[in-house]
Amino acid sequence: MRCVILLGPPGAGKGTQAEMLSEEECLEHISSGAIFRENLKNQTELGKLAATYINNGELVPDDVTIAMVRDRLSAITSESGFLLDGFPRTRTQAEALKDVLQEFDENLRVVAIYIKVPSQELISRLTGRLTCRAEGHIFHTKYNPPKIEGRCDHDGSELYQRDDDKPETVKKRIQVYLEQTIPVIDYYQNQALLVEVDGNQSVEEVSAAIRSALKV
Ligand code: ADP
Ligand code: ADP
């Protein structure tokens, strides 16, 4: 069984790569951001609590996020394993994840893939991102436009711009990433679990680089 952790700044391409990789490798795709957005849509208590943080570009508190992901991990059914997209984002979350993973098979193979993209590129990626209402499929107005304007290629549902993809919030999220998530990259580097991939190339090239990193 395998646990693949995708790390990188907002806009690095984690969700895009996770969509493809989870399908190819039969890994369950666990996106903390997507779970929060689903809760928001359904107006659950968790969704209401998370909303203010998400809309301000801040991280949802660790205790809430860790409990949510712990819950999701207890429901894993794929024997191939799972792919974490957007979690962990703080050192505390990374330490909590380590504890949870200890409850899995002792043969669980953990690898953290750091998709590195320069900050100036992130703004245009995020402000042009289009997200599908039904399933969260990801597009971009210029870099990955849908076949039919405003409609998801996969399920035909409406594409929308996330509130937190507006320029003011994007800047805040990048700043939060630099302050709180860079330490997570160091954390995996120190445990020799980190592989760095150049995210500043085409979606296909990034995907090939990730696949070759996973083979070693
Ligand atoms: P993250 O999950 O890391 O925030 P996404 O996968 O949502 O990133 O990608 C952010 C935006 O950039 C999306 O609009 C996506 O279509 C686009 N994108 C993803 N990967 C690339 C790439 N390699 N080159 C150009 N645009 C990309
Ligand atoms: P991105 O695609 O830019 O990486 P996500 O969809 O992963 O964004 O996350 C959107 C928002 O959800 C974050 O800005 C944050 O408010 C919240 N969030 C997602 N994952 C976490 C996490 N692991 N810890 C705290 N907050 C999170």
Give the list of residues 6+ apart from residue 87 with CB closer than 8 angstroms, or none. 5, 30, 32, 65, 69, 93, 97
Region 46-54: what's the mean pLDDT? 96
Mean pLDDT taken over the chain: 96
Distance CA 87, CA 5 (A): 8
Tell whether 165 is covered by a domain.
Answer: no
Give the number of whichever ligand sits closest to the CA of residue 128: 1
Distance CA 196, CA 206 (A): 11
Q: Which residue has the tokens 């929308």?
A: 160
Tell whether 162 is covered by a domain.
Answer: no
Q: Which residue has the tokens 């429901």?
A: 75
Q: Structurally, how many domains does the chain consist of?
A: 1
Tell whether 10 is covered by a domain.
Answer: yes
Residue 93 alpha carbon, nearest atom of ligand 2: 23
Confidence of residue 215 (pLDDT cuts 50, 70, 90): confident
- Amino acid (1-letter code) at residue 214: L
Give the number of whichever ligand sits closest to the CA of residue 127: 1
Q: Is 162 a catalytic residue?
A: yes
- Name residue 5's beta-bridge partners: 84, 112
Tell whether 51 is covered by a domain.
Answer: yes
Tell whether 84 is covered by a domain.
Answer: yes
Tell whether 124 is covered by a domain.
Answer: no
Is the CB of 88 inside a 6 Å radius of any atom of ligand 1?
Answer: no
Tell whether 102 is covered by a domain.
Answer: yes
Confidence of residue 22 (pLDDT cuts 50, 70, 90): very high
- Please give the pLDDT value at position 156: 97
CA of 180 to the centre of ligand 1 (A): 21
Tens digit of each residue's pLDDT (9 = 90 or more) over 114-152? 999 998 899 999 999 999 999 999 999 999 999 999 999
Tell whether 141 is covered by a domain.
Answer: no
- How much of the chain, in percent, has pLDDT values that exceed 70? 100
The CATH number covering residue 75 comes to 3.40.50.300
- How much of the chain, in percent, has pLDDT values that exceed 90? 94
- Please give the pLDDT value at position 105: 81
Q: Residue 51 pLDDT more than 70? A: yes
Region 16-22: what's the mean pLDDT? 96
In testing the pocket of ligand 2, which one of 17, 30, 36, 163 has its CB within 8 Å of the most ligand atoms?
36
Tens digit of each residue's pLDDT (9 = 90 or more) over 166-202? 999 999 999 999 999 999 999 999 999 999 999 999 9
Domain housing 25: 2-119+182-214
- Please give the pLDDT value at position 216: 63
Tens digit of each residue's pLDDT (9 = 90 or more) over 86-100? 999 999 999 999 999
Confidence of residue 107 (pLDDT cuts 50, 70, 90): confident
What's the burial of 166, exposed, middle or buried (CB within 10 Å: 0-12/13-18/19+)?
middle
Helix axes 32-41, 62-73, angle to 10 degrees: 100
